[in-house]
Amino acid sequence: AQSVTQLGSHVSVSEGALVLLRCNYSSSVPPYLFWYVQYPNQGLQLLLKYTSAATLVKGINGFEAEFKKSETSFHLTKPSAHMSDAAEYFCAVSAYNNNDMRFGAGTRLTVKP
Amino acid sequence: EAGVAQSPRYKIIEKRQSVAFWCNPISGHATLYWYQQILGQGPKLLIQFQNNGVVDDSQLPKDRFSAERLKGVDSTLKIQPAKLEDSAVYLCASSLFQDRGDSPLHFGNGTRLTVT
């Protein structure tokens, strides 16, 4: 069964600094990987997804993630943080033939002025 | 397109009472999910429907939780009787495909349940 582990429950950066949120996956078959963002009192919104077409995936709001099979990682980055990026971020995984999506515990991103 | 609709947004009940949540998925989405999100944790899958059939309910506490999806569209999730540890946000999501792992989930805004 597939699973993901998010390293760091809280990440704090200054506005304009690099954002790096870590996610490692475990899967017995090639996975599909996703990053979702959750703002307070809202549901989850898709940021980006990896489906094996390209290892570097670009998403909305300037975020991108790189799939590294050798490291079983799918870290989320953004070159310059904005105050509006403050939210909870979730990494998720599903198998190629079954949309049974499993989520990590989440990383809360705080952006300091 | 209209998103996933959930109601109510908030619910406060006492332990041992019953409660029901409602979800209307995106039109045309065959797959519907209920997730439980406890504060500070990631969403945990409770049940997955494909049309009106259950695909996976292995993590649903069936002694107190039940869910149905009549006519393959709307769905209700019920808890009876509620326990304190059921306090959480209940998220409904829908997806276009069940047998394709690259089909993203679309989430509603959730129902925040507080059990006192």
**Is A39's pLDDT higher than 80?**
yes
- Give chain A's mean pLDDT: 92
CB contact under 8 A, B104 and A34: yes
**pLDDT value for A28:** 72
Over residues A45-49, mean pLDDT: 94
Q: What are phi and psi of B73, to 5 degrees?
A: -125, -95
Report residue B97 as tokens.
């495909």
Over residues A3-7, mean pLDDT: 94
Q: What are phi and psi of A85, to 5 degrees?
A: -80, -10
CB contact under 8 A, A43 and B48: no
**Is B102's pLDDT higher than 80?**
no
Rg (CA), chain A: 13
Integer Cα distance of A102 and A61 in angstroms: 23
- Pairing relation of β-strands B111-115 and B106-107? unpaired
Which among B91, B103, B107 has CB closest to A99? B103
**Is A38's pLDDT higher than 80?**
yes
Q: What's the pLDDT band for A61 if we cut at 50, 70, 90?
A: very high
Query: What chain B residue is nearest to A33 in terms of C-alpha separation?
Result: B102
Q: What's the pLDDT band for A11 if we cut at 50, 70, 90?
A: very high
On whether any CB of chain A is under 8 Å from the CB of B108, the answer is yes
CB contact under 8 A, A103 and B91: no
Measured in angstroms, the CA of B110 and the nearest CA of chain A are apart by 6
Sort out which chain A residues have CB atoms less than 8 A from B44's CB and list them: 103
Sort out which chain A residues have CB atoms less than 8 A from B104's CB and list them: 34, 46, 49
Integer Cα distance of B116 and B114 in angstroms: 6
